[in-house]
Amino acid sequence: MKIRNRLNPSNPCFSFEFFPPKTDEGTAKLLKTLEDLTPLEPGFVSVTYGAGGSTRDKTVELVTRIKHETNIEAMAHITCVGHTRDELRELLRRLADAKVENVLALRGDPPQGQKTFEAVEGGFRHATELVRFIREEDFNFCLGGACYPEGHVETASRDDDLRHLKEKVDAGLDFIITQLFFDNAFYFDFVERARRVGINVPIVPGIMPITNYEQVHRFTRMCGATVPMRLALQLERVKDQPEALVQLGVAHATVQCMELLSRGVPGIHFYTLNKSPATRMIVSALRSRT
């Protein structure tokens, strides 16, 4: 099933992102987590691709297992980091041979210790080049990409970022998923600006339930997302109370999702960090209201 066919404002789907565990035990736990998610009828799950392609084989293996051993559609993340065209072509062939139909095409973050992104010889500098390559090679994937409601941290302005995104979409994307955000105003403003420049593919909001105080600060520093002042003060008050912090994170994300759904988003993508209880609580609450 192509993900683009599941993104429908009249029947929005919920999707979940996971990263490949390092051990067989971790993989078994993750497959159990997916089993627990099945009653919530996820539209799809995505599997990330470690820095420098460090989880390449595990990503392919896990996506293949999800595709063939569960009733959940799967999408593989692919990045440009550390790979030549030939290596990426072989990787895409492996996914196609495994009957995987959906790919999220990303540039990827610079490897640890490297401040700026540098393409390897024979590789790609931008996700736009990767998207164009996949289309020119005639792979029949449904292609997703990333977008940044508050602007990519490496671009000079949001207008520049939007121009780059338009090029990427025009290269052959079927849909885009946003970076995490905690204030819906950023999403709605971004969608309006994107539509004005002719970006007409579905724009799926990406939501990360806050479950750890230090973690949310680390992620927001990395990606440039803004934590609203009121939420920041609330988090500060409960930072040493794990259960209260999770309850606050779940409540905030649930309210975010309710507003997003009320205004016609085509789906919601959850960044789970391989911890599903918070996400299950949110989706269960949302399902109970429909």
For this structure, is 90 an active site residue? no
| pLDDT at position 224 | 86
Share of the chain above pLDDT 70, in %: 94
Strands 142-147, 102-106: pairing kind: parallel
Write out pLDDT tens, residues 208-250.
999 999 999 888 988 889 999 999 999 999 999 999 999 999 9
Using CA atoms, how far residue 207 sits from 102, 199, 263, 270, in Å, is: 20, 21, 16, 5
Catalytic hit among 17, 73, 129, 150: 17
Query: Phi and psi for 48 in degrees, rounded to 5?
Result: -75, 175
Which structure tokens are listed for 104?
A: 């999220």
CB distance 252 to 224 below 8 Å: no
Nearest to 98 by CA among 128, 131, 156, 57: 57
| pLDDT at position 24 | 87
User: What is the pTM assigned to this prediction?
Assistant: 0.94
Cα 147 from Cα 161, distance rounded (Å): 9
Q: Given a cut of 90, is residue 275 above it in pLDDT?
A: no
Positive or negative torsion for Cα 229, 232, 234, 236: negative
Kindly state the helix (H) or strand (E) to which residue 193 belongs, with its residue range. Answer: helix 184-196
**Beta bridge pairs of residue 106:** 79
* Burial class of residue 157, CB neighbours in 10 A (0-12, 13-18, 19+): exposed
